[in-house]
Amino acid sequence: MIEVREIHKAFGEHQVLRGVTFSIAKGEVVCLIGPSGSGKSTALRCINGLERFDQGAIAVDGIALSDRTLREIRGKVAMVFQRFNLFPHRTVIENVMEGPVHVQKVSPAEARDRALGLLEKVGLRARAGAYPSQLSGGQQQRVCIARALAMRPQAILFDEPTSALDPELVGDVLRVIRALAAEGMTMVVVTHEMAFAREVADRVLFMDGGVILESGPARDVLTTPRMERTRSFLDRVIHPL
């Protein structure tokens, strides 16, 4: 479904990605873990064309990413960010309807029905008429997931979807992602939630210094990692004190 081959990316003199290579099969859930600044979010943004990479190649569903195919790629791969990026002057349902109406040219009536169904799915149908400022952070993030699903993507990229949330709100968002995983949605999730990664991911990729140091089945990487650097990272994340 997603092929990333030898991606290099620098910001000025700082080399953020150094030949990153991985693939995601249809229906697979892959979690990217690693310390801040390791290149996880940049790799995700390259897949969706939000960052240009310097070398390498990316393909989605057999289509090579380029300026010519960017719009088509974005129709196949949605993204959910750390920050919610909802339109503050539009209601919840208007935010979810925005993409289908203005990008896919779906009729407002069909887009509304689609949006209501998705808000039901994320547990927020009753808040369809609310504005983002009237919602908690966890509710806003669930609206963002509904908005991504409204475009009917083949895969979703999650860039630390719970990092901006209070701890008590994290569970509601993770439950929605778990449900998507159970339905077979292809997902790549950058996360610091190790228990969630162990439960939901088919594979875990550990990144550090712009390279993938270790990859494998989630339980293997998170329970019995091969690399000392992976062990050190997990020990600090799971046992911070």
The per-residue pLDDT for range 29-44, each reduced to its tens digit, is: 999 999 988 999 999 9
Helix (H) or strand (E) holding 108: helix 108-121
Other beta carbons within 10 Å of 133? 9
Please say whether the beta carbons of 206 and 235 come within 8 A.
no
Please say whether the beta carbons of 137 and 166 come within 8 A.
yes
Other beta carbons within 10 Å of 99? 20
**Residue 50 predicted with pLDDT over 80:** yes
In this predicted structure, what is the pLDDT of residue 236?
87
Q: How many Å apart are CA 66 and CA 72, to the nearest integer?
A: 10
Average pLDDT of the residues of the chain = 92
Q: How confident is the model at residue 241 (pLDDT cuts 50, 70, 90)?
A: very low
Report which residue type is found at 30.
V
Report pLDDT digits (tens) over 205-226. 999 999 999 999 999 999 999 9
Q: What is the mean pLDDT of residues 89-102?
A: 94
Q: How many Å apart are CA 16 and CA 210, to the nearest integer?
A: 5
Report pLDDT digits (tens) over 161-213. 888 777 777 888 888 999 999 999 999 999 988 988 988 899 999 999 999 99
Q: What is the pTM of this model?
A: 0.91
Report which residue type is found at 127.
R
Other beta carbons within 10 Å of 179? 12
Q: Phi and psi dihedrals of 202, rounded to 5? A: -75, -40
Tokens representing 231 are: 């062990």
